Structure formats: structure tokens, C-alpha cells
Amino acid sequence: MPDTPITDQFYLDLVGSFFNLKWQIMAEGLKHDLGGMQALTLLMLNELTPRSMKELCNTLHCDASNVTGIIDGLEQRGLVERRNDPSDRRIKTLHILPAGKELQQQILDQLVRGSKAFLAPLTDSEMTQFVSIVQKLATNRP
């Protein structure tokens, strides 16, 4: 048994923090006339390991048709490109274009800047713990 009881309030705090983080990300996307999910999705793409629509579905925990619409928006803005996978012609792989890469970096920078204030109350020691914990959680996707 952990010596710290996990209260309902802990979960509510977790949810509250989610709103805060989401807001940090949206802000920069908004300046560039991107929807919130478009901004988040752009963050989740990288040029090294192009992902299929299906993979993105799993990351975003949302419906396939939903991802179609989000990628449509990013593609119309010239940020991302669908390509056919030669090894399996059902699959479309997603490739981030130069303009997308540039905007992605801006959104990430904003997230980092915005999170500074959010994470400011943590001590160095807590920050180290937090980084380690988040990494552990991120590699465990139920």
C-alpha cells in the first residue's frame, strides 16, 4: 500500500491541470488560425517516423473519421501531406512539410514558454522527479 492515500481531489487536480496545459497549446495554434486539435495533432507528427492515420487515431484516442477531418485541415493549409504506402496500398502515411515543421516548432516553443509559469512552483528536485514520472507514464499506453 502506498503511504499517500489517493483522494478524489487528486484526480480533479489532474483534470484541472489538463485544462491548463490544453490552453497553453491552443493559444499559439489560434494565432495561426489553427483549431485546437489541429495544433495538438501537428505536435504529434515528426518527419523521421511518418505515421499512418490509424496510428494517429490511437495516439489521439479518437475516431478514424475524426482524424480524416483534422488532417484535411492541415493538408489544406500546406502543413502536412498524405502519401501512399507502397508496401500496403490501404495505408496513407503522414509527412510533415517545411511550413508544418516551422509552425510545429513555434507551437512547441509556446508550450515550453507557457509551461514555465505553470511548472515554476516545483523545486529542482521535484522537477527531476516529475520528468522521470511523465516519461514513465508516456511509455505505458493502455
Q: Is 114 in the site for DNA (CB under 7 A)?
A: no
Shortest Å, Cβ 27 to a copy of itself = 9
| C-alpha cell belonging to residue 7 | 483522494
Burial label, 109 (beta-carbon count in 10 A; 0-12, 13-18, 19+): exposed
DSSP states of 95-115: EE-HHHHHHHHHHHHHHHHHH
Q: Within positions 13 to 52, which residues make up the interface with a copy of itself, using CB under 8 A?
A: 13-23, 25, 40, 43-44
Quick one: which of 3, 86, 87, 88 contacts a copy of itself (CB under 8 A)?
3
Shortest Å, Cβ 37 to a copy of itself = 10
Sign of CA dihedral 132, 19, 112, 127: negative
Q: Is 133 in the site for a copy of itself (CB under 8 A)?
A: yes
Burial label, 137 (beta-carbon count in 10 A; 0-12, 13-18, 19+): exposed
Shortest Å, Cβ 70 to DNA = 5
Contacted by 129, from a copy of itself, DNA, none: CB < 5 to 8 Å by type: a copy of itself
State how beta strands 51-52 and 80-84 pair. Answer: unpaired
- For residue 6, report the phi and psi dihedrals to the nearest 5 degrees: -95, 110
- Report the alpha-carbon distance of residue 70 to residue 75 in Å, rounded: 9
Q: Within positions 24 to 53, which residues make up the interface with DNA, using CB under 7 A?
A: 26, 30, 34-38, 52-53
> Footprint of a copy of itself on this chain (CB under 8 A)?
1-4, 6, 8-23, 25, 40, 43-44, 59-61, 108, 111-112, 114-115, 117-122, 124, 126-138, 140-142
> Footprint of DNA on this chain (CB under 7 A)?
26, 30, 34-38, 52-55, 57, 60, 62-73, 82, 88-93
